[in-house]
Chain A
């Protein structure tokens, strides 16, 4: 079956630091890959996505590249802000599927 493994948290950073959250997956076929974010007190929001190998998803300064050879979709941001403090979830869906399979989430705290 499908599964997602992401870096355990919590992660605490200073403002303007570089952020990487590792995510690897197991899936049959060619899944679509996603990063969702949950800000304090808010619902899950789609942050970015990539639907095929070598695609790069980007949004709000975050980037992730779909690496089929390493089955990875690591999230990066070059300079984090306090407002990036949130829980980040890596997720996948089979190409012909509607179900999302999520990782356990990584809590990120950015200090001023």
Chain B
């Protein structure tokens, strides 16, 4: 079946602009996660959704970052007033149970802020 998909695969934006990154989880997966992977580093947790609600957003670095999942399926990560330090690969994952280790990852969106 279809895996987790993310769009766009690449996004280049200018400093100060607003961007939206989209994640389509595997059908039926109620849990959804966003991670950020900077160059040469492992992924870092940003936010976890169970259904429509954000169960844990403790990894969001500041209030410029926001994520929604209004219908409990597709999620959008929104970044306002982008900074060069936001450049990274943004990964989305989904799972049935919410348990770590049962997360299926998407291919990521590479964000470059110039």
Contact = CB atoms under 8 A, between A and B. Distances in A.
Interface of A: 4, 32, 34, 41-46, 49, 51, 89, 91, 93, 97-105
A31 to B, nearest CB: 9
Contacts of A91: 42, 100
Contact of A44 (B31, B43, B56): B43
Contacts of A97: 100
A3 to B, nearest CB: 11
B105 A32 contact: no
Given A101-B45, A104-B41, A46 B91 contact: no
A102 B44 contact: yes
Contacts of B59: 99
B100 A43 contact: no
Contact of A98 (B3, B31, B44): B31
B4 interface: yes
A100 B91 contact: no
Given A43-B106, A44-B91, A45-B105, A98 B41 contact: no
